Structure 1
């Protein structure tokens, strides 16, 4: 297992993706876990879910450059946070990769393997006006950018009960392999704008944002 890609977003923000090639035991042995984490790990099913949980935490350790115990908890909204370190984090995973983003401000990251079937569920996360700006030649890639961008915004905002269709609105963009998408989160009194980065890495798409 090694860092496959790393990007410095700005002076205090970076993200990395890690290709998971080890067995679970090898990853587990690189971590120090408290009793609660050990109990949670034991409940995970053997397989990708197991490896993903381990992989994101090993990558987090590598990015923080420490072999010490990292107290990483999850809040009431499901957002991970570091108890004793002054950083915001976001975690993601998809098939063979784990992704971690770290900053002094709230962040969100999402990684997804690109598959044709996304077209069948596009209506579940896209507004009509967003579907209308898709380029037919790049439709699948654009749909994955849209999903990753909305997921990154959702994670950065860090609150439950946000609708991808009704609350996260994207401005038109052309797919270029990497770039930025303007996104707006509108929910009740909340009206926030984000410039969300995206990156195609082999057959994966990554969306990342700093709030």
Structure 2
């Protein structure tokens, strides 16, 4: 299992990325799966999606450094959680990569998103960004800037873990300086009030963008 990136963000938080090179059978051999999980795998419409699902679980297993069964489930909002660990996790995948983020601090939730960079994002930018955000010169027509914003908003959405949050309406990106690796601030309108979150992001050499948040 080629872990191509492993970041110890702080004493309690880790983020890792894995390039998917194994076959379906090789990934299956590294996991202990129960019947409901086998049914999930069988429900996927493509082999690639099954590989991504298996890869996130095997990467999670590697990061937890255990040979025991890992009971990773989804709550009724679709947020992943570990039944037997008091940790927060976030999972992402895009094409040939899987990514996992773990917070061992029960008080700190995490959110993670990884996307391959494609020009087609310009076609949907008005769906997830306000006119004020699009007016920022580092966002507007800049593909990398658009992906930074998408990954930031998706990471925040996963951090919150509730479906009522909408990208364009509730998550607002403040002006930031676009780099290959950097940080931005987002203002989030939550049901319990407004919260500011710092989101880190970086672009990989082979054309992916990754954003993550802790809070």
- Same fold, TM-score > 0.5, yes or no: yes
Q: TM-score range by the shorter chain?
A: over 0.9
**Number of equivalenced pairs:** 211
**4+ runs deviating over 3 angstroms:** none
- Partner in structure 2 of residue 65 of structure 1: 65
**Which residue in 2 is equivalent to 1:150?**
153
Comparing 201-210 with 189-198, greater Cα deviation is found at 189-198
TM-score between both structures, scaled by the size of structure 1: 0.96
Aligned counterpart, 2:211: 207
TM-score by length of 2: 0.94
TM superposition shift of 1:135: 2.7
Local SS of the residue matching 2:32:
coil
Match of 1:184 in 2: 187
Give the superposition deviation at 1:124.
0.6
The CA deviation at 1:162 is 1.3
For the Cα contact (< 8 Å) 1:112–1:148, is it kept in 2? yes
* Corresponding position of 2:96: 96
> Aligned equivalents of 2:66 and 2:80: distance in 1?
18
Are 1:108 and 1:152, in contact at CA under 8 Å, matched by a contact in 2?
Answer: yes
The aligned residue for residue 173 of structure 1 is 176
Secondary structure of the residue that 2:21 maps to in structure 1?
coil
Corresponding residue to 1:134 among 132, 137, 140: 137
Alpha-carbon separation, structure 2, partners of 1:135 and 1:191: 25
Structure 2: how far apart are the matches of 1:209 and 1:65?
23
Partners of 2:79 and 2:161 within 8 A in 1: yes
In structure 1, how many angstroms separate the alpha carbons of the residues matched to 2:81 and 2:192? 25
CA deviation string 1:170-194 (max 9, x = no partner): 1011111111110111044331211
What is the CA–CA distance in structure 1 between the aligned matches of 2:27 and 2:116, rounded to whole Å?
Answer: 22
1:81 aligns with 2:84: no
Q: Is the 8 A contact 1:6 1:16 kept in 2?
A: yes
Cross-structure match for 1:198? 201
Distance 1:167 1:129 in 2: 13
Give the secondary structure class of the aligned counterpart of 1:81.
Answer: strand
Q: Residues 22 and 62 from structure 1, CA distance in 2 versus in 1: closer, same or farther, beyond 3 angstroms? A: same
Shift of 1:14: 1.0
1:116 is matched with which residue: 119, 140, 153?
119
- Give the structure 1 partner of residue 13 of structure 2: 13
- Ranges in structure 2 where 5+ consecutive residues have no aligned partner: none
Structure 1: which 5+ runs fail to align? Answer: none
